[in-house]
């Protein structure tokens, strides 16, 4: 009974933050990145903490969601260089 309640609280809080982001002028183009990133994060947490199987379709989904996040960040003109730990402007 604990996990469904916790899930409801997290989804509710995420939805509220989602609307607050757009009320404060956040770009609508951030929506795919938020949704795909959340799905990838949930799949990774499921594999690491809840012992779900790391099947090929699940891993492919994580890779594709990560690709969506990367393309969304690139489209916005921002690139995070992890190797030198600095933010650079692409466009």
Residue 70 belongs to a domain: yes
- What's residue 74's pLDDT? 66
- What's residue 47's pLDDT? 92
Distance between the two ends of the chain, CA-based, in angstroms?
Answer: 49
Q: Which residue has the tokens 């492919």?
A: 60
Residue 73 belongs to a domain: yes
Mean pLDDT in the chain? 77
Q: Which residue has the tokens 């404060």?
A: 24
Count the domains in the chain: 1
What DSSP state is assigned to residue 50?
S
Residue 3 belongs to a domain: no
Identify the segments of the chain with pLDDT beneath 70: 72-91
Instruction: Give the model confidence (pLDDT) of 21-33 as tens digits.
Output: 888 887 777 777 7
Say whether pTM exceeds 0.85. no
Quote the CA–CA distance of 40 and 21 in Å, as a whole number. Answer: 20
- The residue range of the domain holding 71 is 27-89
Instruction: Give the model confidence (pLDDT) of 46-58 as tens digits.
Output: 899 888 999 999 9
Residue 11 belongs to a domain: no
Residue 68 belongs to a domain: yes
């Amino acid at each position: 009974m604990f996990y469904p309640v916790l899930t409801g609280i997290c989804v509710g809080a995420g939805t509220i933050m989602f609307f607050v982001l757009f009320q404060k002028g956040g770009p609508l183009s951030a929506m795919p990145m938020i949704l795909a990133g959340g799905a990838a994060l949930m799949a990774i947490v499921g594999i690491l903490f809840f012992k779900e199987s790391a099947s090929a379709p699940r891993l492919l989904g994580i890779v594709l969601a990560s690709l969506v996040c990367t393309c969304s960040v690139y489209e916005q003109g921002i690139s995070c260089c992890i190797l030198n730990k600095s933010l650079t402007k692409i466009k």
